[in-house]
Structure 1
Amino acid sequence: MKWLRIFNSVQWKVVIIYILLLLIAVQLIGVYFFRNVEQYYEGNFRNRLQTQAELLQDKVADAMGSRENSQNQRKKIDELIQALFTLDNKTDVVQVVDQDGIVLSTSSDNKSLVGQKNVKVSRVLQGDVQSDVQIRPSPNGQRQMLVSYPVMEDGLVIGAIYIEAPMEEMYKTIRTINNYLIKITLVSLVGTGILGVVLARTITNPVKEITRQATVMAEGNFDRKVDVKSQDEIGQLASSFNHLAHHLREALSQKEEEKGKLESVLANMSDGVIATDRRGRVIVMNRRAEEILNRSFQHGESINQVLPLAQPLTPPLAEERETYLELNDSEDEHLTVVKLTFTPIRRPGRETVGLIVVLQDVTEEEKLDRQRKEFVANVSHELRTPLTTIKSYLEALDEGGAMEEKELASRFLRVTRQEAERMTRLIHDLLQLSRLDAEKVRFHKQPLLLSEVLEDAADRFSVQCEQKEIDFTLSISDRLPRVYADRDQVDQVLDNLLSNAVKYTQAGGSITLSARKRSDGFITVSVADTGIGIPKKDLERIFDRFYRVDKARSRSMGGTGLGLSIAREMIRGHGGEIGIESQYGEGTTVSFTLPPCEPEVVR
């Protein structure tokens, strides 16, 4: 019911409890007060009647003890009664009885009582009590007090005084006082109720304000503050709540900042990350994980659905483990190797509550490992071939037969020397490539006139081109800026490229050495030939170490298979780029770039 809802309000609870406590206190005080007022008035009423009886007792004792006849005694007693009681209280009934209980005189209008026996004073006449006070209802139903007091002479009871006094006036006075008290109580209750409401509002209004603030905070708004209207406990509570809101705002701000940092870290990680809950459902993942797996997935998916594992996981995982996953792209048949690291998330109590999966694309590492193995195998093969030749020729010379024939011995020594020089070139190239990889080569860069460098290179290869009947052309654009480079290394790059062009260009072909300025300020140098060209399938690996398109022909021409690799590292060291374009059977063009000698682009 609606009226029961007020009991759900602290304000009305305080008001009702406050009024009830006051009402109980007033009731207890009222009962105590009413009882004491009644006892007080009854005591005063009794004392008044006893005092009157005592005053009358002395006079009546003198009258009753005189030697006069009974008629005179009664007359004196009537006069005494009239003198003492008629003027004092006309409603009281006073009787004087003798020692036998016979009424000698009365103040009542009913004179027939004179001469009758009054049994109500028997206890006093018999000496059982000093005085007898009783409260009894009168014939008309009203309460009255009955007082019996002995009349003594020489220690003997010679009669008694009997007084009947109605108590209606006394009770009327008590009721009047009670009515005043009830009115005062009602006024106090109303005033107390008003003060209780004010007090309750004083307490509950700040609490309501704090409750509203808590609701607003629950919705994410921490900018609102509770008004502090006092410095009491309620005000201190409001201040503490504002302090709490401020710290919560800072804590949530830091949490959001940390969350943003974490999301930024996850988004920019080179490794994929997937986090799951205890049951193996995805709760956090980054973009890199989707890129590695080449698929998108949603929160709540099972980790076994996300990762195509041969053996499905059974969460929760107890220990850290690693495994490898091979993903095959059906479009280009490219195989991706992914290293998976599973790490369980544990609470301080060692209870497993989730799982972190780190995905590392180790395809390149696998390729590098294969390349390393191929490199070692190629180096071993390249060194073993000349060594085998040197060994066989030296053994032939050692046997003695070849030494006797000077022409044959000279040819054997010439071949041995050529193979030794080939090994020297190979080792020199390997050492140079190793220093380039370790970035231990110092580039002595300086401003250079590229036109002079290219003209010198053209001069060096002009004779070879004439001998092979190859047309050599030098093409340099006007106003070519200076470059910032190491002259020796640029010469070595040009020598490698031009040497390859001369080797693989047949008689009647042509070689063009050109240079032009790009729009970004870099200078592009190109070596174009009309030689045998390179098949398309070999272009991607042409800069790999020891890679040859035609291994037998390359060895016969004395190449080490490292020239283009060295050229690429040197150009990269200058901040440039190198690339190759070729059509099999039509020719090849190798181009590289160098930075101009200008402050804003010098590296």
Structure 2
Amino acid sequence: MRKRVQKQAHVEEQDEILSPTTSELHIDKNDDCVSISTLTERRHQVIDAAIQTTSDAIIVLRQDFHIAYLNPAAVATLNEPAESRSHCTKVLACKNLNRMVLCGTSSCPLVQALERKSSIPNEELILGTDPDHMYEVSTSVNPITLDDDTSYVVFAARDMSALKVANRVRSNFVSMVSHELRTPLNSVHGFIDLLLQGHMGEMNEEQRMYLGYTQEGVQQLISIVEDILFMTRSDLGQFEVKQQEVHPVGLVRQVVRSLQPQALKAEVALRLDIAPGVPALYVDPQRIKQVLNNLVANAIKFTPPGGIVTISARQHDEHFEMISVSDTGYGIPVEDSHHVFERFYQSNHRQQSKLGGYGLGLSIAKLIVEQHGGTIGFDTVVNKGTTFYFTVPLFHDPAQL
């Protein structure tokens, strides 16, 4: 009995030690509040210090395209005072890597971020208004909406000049190798053509068939080399767009005529659906033919026999026309849809492995369209078909303007 009483007293003593009084509990709560407040304040100080000391330029723009904030790195990079509230066209003047001005176009990063309401990571731009002090940067563009529905866009830009120098050396090497490969390949293609035409004597059908296969392989190699050469020249800033007045009907018909043999071989029908009175375009005809050729050839390749590929053109708005290439093919799997325009991307889809390809056609199409100030995209339904569409500028007669 005595042991039980002593044990109970010991437990009560422990409870008194472990259980604080009301006044002590009140002090602890206050201490917690002070601690949380201090942590929050310190966190804000750390974030502010990180923004102030980072070598990346942090630029905050209002939705009316005026500057709201520049961190010290942005002030130094753009040579603009921290208190500046100038319009972004007078400070950033965003350009793509081919020095095409994006301000006022649908390719403007601020416009795209606000329209998508999502971040744009790794956007490569040239910033600055002084021709002697422009900066190639890799930028993340992040839209922010406050509780009062006020929208801002935060640019975080990292100077890529040193990396660009290394990439330029590599691109120069690839360009040189591609150029050296093209000459002998063209020679081989030419001599095969002479053989097929009978200049070196008559051949039997089996010989002609195997030479035909060889010519197709050489032509494919030439196309690959040409595409790699195109991409490396673009990376080096040597890609020029020579725009002129072009009528879309004639342009599309040229592409259809050139791809008709491929369509007949694949048992796929090509159709035109161009609205009457579609206005003229202001484009580089060779480059836009290249875009259409890539899109239509892809559509033919990924459409089963008996399918249809339709090329259509409609006026998109007062400045742009939309051209679409629709097919009744296999569609694009969901897991591949985010990688469609990536260079050298190869799908694991069984149809892709069966039909081949090297993953540059769509990257080149995107590059050319963006050089014209347009945009490119697609809609797809698996086993129903895919529609690729892009916008290009309309021709406006200077006399009428």
The TM-score normalised by the length of structure 1 is: 0.32
The TM-score normalised by the length of structure 2 is: 0.47
Q: Over alpha carbons, which structure has the higher Rg?
A: 1
Higher-helix-fraction structure: 1
